[in-house]
């Protein structure tokens, strides 16, 4: 029986806001160089562990990199490389296969699930009091995988957050935030959330300056969209201090910037989350405990100079204990559109 536990999360939703005439300069997280080194080491050691790998994370109390493996021999190799090792029951491959099988099912609206390296399990989050037939059927399937799946109750349902007026980028009544600025040749694009670009075509800044028209929109399934900048010289958009993109390991400190809540910081809980919004299922999201609220949708998640994600959803009604937030990986959005950072 698995002995790992962690206090977890509350309801989640889509958010909006960001500085648009110029994407705001982003403050550096302390020891960004050390965090980049940790991410590289985590990738190297998990790759070397091969079929025995079970993920890596930064321990919140000690700040040390922990590498999960399934055998004592693999654990010794991790220690020989100077990292902390933990022997666990299930490989990352098995957890990912379980998660993939759940993705193929018909999950009830309001549920979310994903692999959790800290507890070495697939975590299914269920809103408190939700007990409809679809939820019960999904949980029966989840429980069939035994101790590899952990079911938790959270404060409320996950849903896309309403788009709010008066934020940084606007299309009619829809208002969202910018994440980064990408380029393809001489053409610039503002990258934001897909549920934002689904809501409008012609975009302006909050002051009414023209940005351009929606070029690409992917939601649900993913949650990214791009807006082609009609006059880059006039708009003068910039990525501030963001100069690269990446994926820090679970447990790393990150910050986000959005037009409603500004800059807020917290910790990456895990990757490859599936969220069943009422509007449709989105897969491959990053889960954090970073505060996001309506109007933050499309904003930037980052670690120092590294862009990490795009605000997708979060718990509505406040950012108290058990808060959940979800982000679309920004590298996926750039790659899908053939873009590089400006």
Q: How far apart are CA 298 and CA 3, in angstroms?
A: 37
Q: How far apart are CA 247 and CA 297, in angstroms?
A: 20
Choose the catalytic residue: 90, 116, 223, 272. Answer: 223
Cis check: omega of the bond before 220, within 30 degrees of 0: yes
* Torsion angles phi and psi, residue 281, rounded to 5: -85, 135
Residue (of 228, 214, 231) closest to 182 by Cα position: 228
Task: Note if 128 is an active site residue.
Answer: no
Pairing of strands 65-69, 84-87: parallel
Kindly tell me the burial class for residue 281, based on how many C-beta atoms sit within 10 Å of its own C-beta (0-12, 13-18, 19 or more).
middle
Angle subtended by helix axes 72-80 and 32-49, to nearest 10: 140
Choose the catalytic residue: 297, 305, 312, 325. Answer: 297
Instruction: Give how far the C-alpha of residue 300 lies from the chain's centroid of Cα atoms, to the nearest Å.
Output: 10
Distance of CA 88 to CAs 56, 81, 93, 113, 301, Å? 12, 19, 13, 20, 30
* Torsion angles phi and psi, residue 277, rounded to 5: -70, 155
| Contact by Cβ (8 Å): 89, 147 | yes
Task: Note if 297 is an active site residue.
Answer: yes
Distance of CA 302 to CAs 26, 134, 212, 311, Å? 8, 36, 25, 11
Choose the catalytic residue: 90, 195, 252, 305. Answer: 195
Instruction: Give how far the C-alpha of residue 216 lies from the chain's centroid of Cα atoms, to the nearest Å.
Output: 20
Task: Note if 43 is an active site residue.
Answer: no
Pairing of strands 280-288, 262-277: antiparallel
CA dihedral 45, 87, 119, 98 (to 10 degrees): 80
Query: Exposed e or buried b for every residue in 81-92, given b needs 16+ CB within 10 A?
Result: eebebbbbbbbb
Q: Which residues are catalytic?
A: 195, 223, 297
């Amino acid at each position: 029986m698995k002995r790992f536990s962690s206090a977890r999360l509350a309801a989640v939703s889509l958010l909006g806001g960001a500085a648009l005439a110029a994407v705001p300069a982003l403050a550096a997280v302390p020891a960004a160089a050390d965090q980049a080194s940790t991410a590289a080491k985590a990738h190297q050691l998990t790759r070397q562990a091969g079929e025995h790998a079970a993920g890596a994370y930064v321990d919140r109390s000690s700040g040390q990199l922990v590498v999960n493996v399934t055998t004592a021999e693999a654990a010794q190799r991790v220690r020989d490389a100077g990292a902390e090792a933990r022997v666990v029951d299930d490989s990352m491959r098995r957890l990912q296969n379980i998660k993939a099988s759940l993705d193929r099912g018909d999950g009830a609206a309001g549920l979310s699930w994903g692999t959790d390296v800290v507890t070495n399990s697939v975590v299914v989050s269920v809103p408190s009091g939700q007990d409809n037939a679809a939820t019960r059927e999904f949980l029966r399937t989840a429980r069939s995988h035994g101790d590899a799946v952990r079911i938790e109750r959270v404060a409320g349902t996950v849903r896309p957050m309403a788009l709010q007026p008066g934020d940084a980028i606007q299309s009619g009544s829809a208002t969202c935030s910018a994440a980064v600025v990408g380029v393809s040749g001489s053409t610039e694009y503002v990258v934001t959330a897909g549920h934002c670009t689904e809501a409008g075509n012609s975009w302006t800044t909050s002051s009414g300056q023209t940005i351009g028209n929606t070029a690409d929109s992917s939601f649900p399934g993913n949650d990214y969209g791009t807006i082609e900048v009609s006059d880059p010289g006039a708009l003068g958009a910039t990525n501030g201090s963001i100069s690269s993109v990446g994926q820090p390991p679970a447990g790393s400190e990150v910050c986000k910037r959005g037009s409603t809540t500004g800059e807020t910081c917290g910790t990456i809980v895990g990757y490859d989350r599936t969220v069943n919004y009422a509007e449709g299922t989105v897969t491959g999201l990053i889960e954090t405990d970073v505060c996001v609220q309506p109007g933050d949708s499309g904003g930037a998640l980052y670690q120092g100079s590294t862009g990490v994600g795009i605000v997708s959803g979060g718990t509505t009604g406040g950012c108290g204990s058990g808060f959940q937030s979800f982000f679309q990986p920004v590298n996926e959005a750039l790659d899908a559109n053939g873009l590089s950072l400006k």
